[in-house]
A and B are shown apart, each in its own frame.
Chain A
Amino acid sequence: MFTTGSKLLIGSSVLALLATLLFGIFDGGLLGSVALISATVALSVLAGINVFTRDANVGSDETESFGGAAAASGRPGASMWPFTIGLAATTITLGLVTYTAIFVLGLILLMAGLVEWLVQAWSERASAETGHNSEVRARMLHPAEMPAGAAIGLGVVIYAFSRVMLGLPSKTSTIVAFSVVAMIVLAIGSLIGSRRTISAPAMTGGFAIAAVVLVSGGAVAGLNGEREIEEHNTTAYYAAKDQCGAEEISADEHASQTVAGKASSAAEIFLTESGTIEFQMPGDSSRRSDALQLPRSNPNNLLMRNESSEPRRFVIDLAEGYEGSPPRMCTQIIEEGGVQLLTVEFAVPSFAPEVEAVGGYRFTVPGVESASLEVVVP
């Protein structure tokens, strides 16, 4: 008489053999054939061993072995850890040929699965009382399981939510979606709060539905990819690359990192309607046009304003050859009435011979002869 385990393995062997034959007839791929033949052989060997050992069942005539036989113990509980370890092995294999991160994830999964399986197996034999065994396992593993589970759950929620937000077609729809979700959460929260009692299954069901919706939405949004997000570099970025050509590049208007600089600039510089350059220093309400004094070796945030009736750019020549000092810096084209932030650092003072050789530091505006502002660096 065949035992249950033997039946399973014999059936699997037959199925593997059938699959091998069918694969050989209809496809004939070498790799697949080798894999299926290997599986058939492996399963057949396992089935043979199992038949021979009779699934480790004790014969009826060996009465002294009854007490220690597996059949005499309580049935082990259902366990997800063998499946987890199988998954881990697959992930590790996948990681070996794809990304290191997947390999590491597989290793973590493997370690976690092994520990859980070992502790579970040990706790199920800790005593004859199932309840006590379960409590022992909980005491051992809950301090690790709870925070890890919470972190993983929170990470999944945040990641799925961020995918949904980034996957929505526009900023407006993101705001709308955010508002709708917030309102739903508020409404459900109010509903729960208004009831005297609420059943555990209802709560669990509600959260399960929310989790499924969120994770599904995240998966779909993640597969669709993020919406196209335009990158805006600052004027300082372009200036540092010495992009002072005729090109017109949108800068600053949407570059959020310049907000802090604009909020606290070292000076405001104006190209006036009459074609002159004026400046205004913080703490001084008057606009001047004589000479702007700026400190040395310090990033000076300058707000460049175009009050003329044509798009213009400001240019300043710096001493060449010093660290952090490109030979020329400029704003991008500034529209009429527009403003850009330019961060300029002077490595050497105005009186240095190499600076005097280029006529000193001076802001100019190409195409406007009268636009010139001396910069003094003490």
Chain B
Amino acid sequence: MITSRRLIAAFAATALLSSCASDAPQDTWKPAGENAQMIHDLQWPIFLVAGIVGVIVLAFIALIVVKFRDRGQAMPEQSHGKAWLEYLFIAIPAVILTTIAIPTVGVVMALADTDDTECIINVTGQQWWWEYDYPVSADGTICGFTPSVADASPIITSGQVVIPTGTKVLLRGTSRDVIHSYWIPRLNGKRDMVPGRVHYLRLQSETPGIYAGQCTEFCGLSHANMRMETIALEPADFQRWLDNELEPYAAPVDGSLAAEGEATYIAQCARCHQVNGLVDDRGTDDPSDDSLVVSYPDQFVYSGAAPNLTNLMGRNTFAGATYDLLTDECRADVWEADPSEFGDLYLEGVTEDCLNEIELREWLRNSPAKKPMYADPEMLTETDGKTRGMPYLALSEDQIDQLIAYLLERK
């Protein structure tokens, strides 16, 4: 009896404690946009109905177990079938399920609607990060915003998708390698991203802030590290972000550590990672020797893509949003910022003081040690030598210093 009481107490305590998580950014019970709110409004009554049904069924089971337990009484008369009871047990679930199905189908249809889209963003999954590109509309706008530069190029970024608040965003998604699944719990439900197919997911946030998500389809070794964040900015802040993304490339000052970093980047990183506008002067002052640096990740990476690092420090995560580019204090400042101040803090990007240099340095030193990836040359026979994720580059500490100085200016 004592054991049973202890078991019940342990179960109750576990149930109670599990509901006490305070730092739970991926909480589906805290909707932050119209789409998530629709799901939330549906799941509450359904959980209520399911809970009541569950309690009734469990109560009946308990009653039967207690009332008809074996006390040495005579075996009761055995019979089979009671038509009216069977009809009742069919009718009650049918009515409950029909009642639930009507609003559920309505919400499913509403979440699949694409007619009211105000902003389209392409998202592509690959092992183990998400890439986003913002198409330019026929009228030259991006997401309904007019860029400050004429003939704007499409914006391409990764890890964090930036959306304007109060805007009906449609993610148009696919995958480059295996099936992934996109889920930002506070903004909408899950959507699988299947190679060769195009899938849609509505996103909308009314409040500026960061909304965390997670790949929810097992996709290989680092599935648990395939994260994503949605950044919702006020329209004015979104315009600032947009214009900043389209700024032309700014080369480091000659002779600086960052300039050395640029050369190291071209030698070590540029074959996979693109920095838009980066030019290789080939060590001469003759402009005719200059050549645009273009990455060819399809020759080295199985998925054929690597994150674009043009504005790396404009976002505050790296390695598929696995690690923060900000220190814990700076990260907390941004995550916990008042919505009215969030835009300014986010757009400040990563400063030298706030850079999470320890983890970035560790990543550059040996990335497969920081995030499990298929990057061991001896295990790449099936992919013909192509890695899944970033390989070990054997960079020296000096090269890492140079690269960090260079990357700090990429915002």
Residues in chain A within 8 A of chain B (CB atoms): 260-261, 263-266, 281-286, 288-291, 293, 295-299, 301, 322-324, 347-349, 351-353, 376, 378
9 closest A-B pairs (Cβ-Cβ)? A297-B304, A264-B197, A378-B154, A293-B135, A352-B294, A283-B114, A378-B156, A288-B138, A290-B138
Given A301-B196, A378-B153, check contact A353 B294 (CB 8 Å).
yes
How many angstroms from the CA of A324 to the CA of B298 in the assembled complex? 9
* Any A CB within 8 A of the CB of B292: yes
Chain B nearest CB from A269 CB (Å) reads: 15
Known: A260-B197, A261-B196, A283-B114. Is A295-B122 also a contact (CB below 8 A)?
yes
Instruction: Report the nearest B residue to A298, measured CB to CB.
Output: B176
Q: With a CB–CB cut-off of 8 A, which chain A residues contact B296?
A: 322, 347-348
The answer to whether A347 touches B304 (Cβ under 8 A) is yes
Residues on B with C-beta less than 8 A from A353 are 291-292, 294
B195 contact set on A, CB distance < 8 A: 299
Contacts of A295 in B (CB 8 A): 122, 124, 131, 133, 174
Write the nearest CB–CB distance from B113 to chain A, whole angstroms.
10
Q: How far is the CB of A188 from chain B (nearest CB, A)?
A: 32
- Say yes or no for B170: interface residue by CB 8 A criterion: yes
Which of under 10, 10 to 19, 20 to 34, or 35 or more describes the interface residues of B? 35 or more
Per-residue interface assignment for chain B, residues 167 to 191, with 1 indicating a CB less than 8 Å from any chain A CB and 0 otherwise: 0001010101000000000000000
| Chain B residues numbered 122-164 whose CB sits less than 8 Å from any CB in chain A | 122, 124, 131, 133, 135-136, 138, 153-156
With A and B bound together, what is the CA distance between A210 and B303 in angstroms?
A: 54
Q: Is the interface of A mostly helix, strand, loop or mixed?
A: loop
Q: Does B200 contact A (CB under 8 A)?
A: yes
Complex interface: chain B residues within 8 A of A347 (CB): 296, 298, 304
B115 touches A285 (CB 8 A): yes
- The answer to whether the Cβ of B43 comes within 8 Å of any Cβ in the partner chain is no
Query: Chain B: which residue is nearest A349 at the CB level?
Result: B294
Give the CA-CA distance A282 to B154 in the complex, in Å. 17
What's the A-B contact tally at a CB cutoff of 8 Å? 89
The smallest beta-carbon distance between A277 and chain B, in angstroms, is 14
Task: Using A301-B196, A352-B294 as known contacts, say yes or no to A296 and B305 having CB atoms under 8 A apart.
Answer: yes
| Cα distance A348–B200 in the bound complex, in angstroms | 26
A263 neighbours in B (Cβ, 8 Å): 197
Chain A proximity mask over B299-322: 1 for CB below 8 Å, otherwise 0: 100011100000000000000000
| C-alpha gap A185/B80 in the complex (Å) | 34
In whole angstroms, how far apart are the Cα atoms of A290 and B133 in the complex? Answer: 18
Q: CB-nearest residue of chain A relative to B140?
A: A290
A378 to B304, CA, bound (A): 14
Task: Using A296-B305, A347-B296, A352-B294 as known contacts, list a sample of 6 further A-B pairs with CB atoms less than 8 Å apart, ordered by residue number in A.
Answer: A296-B298, A299-B196, A322-B298, A324-B298, A378-B133, A378-B154
Q: Which residues of A contact B122 (CB under 8 A)?
A: 293, 295
Choice from B117, B154, B199, B304 contacting A284 with Cβ under 8 Å: B117
Cα-based distance from A333 to B289 in the complex (angstroms): 44
Contact B120 A281 (CB under 8 A): yes
CA distance A323 to B384 in the complex (A): 12
For A348, list chain B residues within 8 Å (CB).
294, 296
* Alpha-carbon distance between A266 and B172 when the two chains are bound, in angstroms: 9
- Known contacts A347-B296, A349-B294, A378-B154, A297 near B176 by CB under 8 Å: yes
Set of chain B residues within 8 Å of A351, measured between Cβ atoms:
153, 276, 292, 294
A residues less than 8 Å from B120 (CB atoms): 281, 283-284
In the complex, A3 Cα to B245 Cα: how many Å?
106
* Residues of chain A contacted by B131 (CB below 8 angstroms): 295
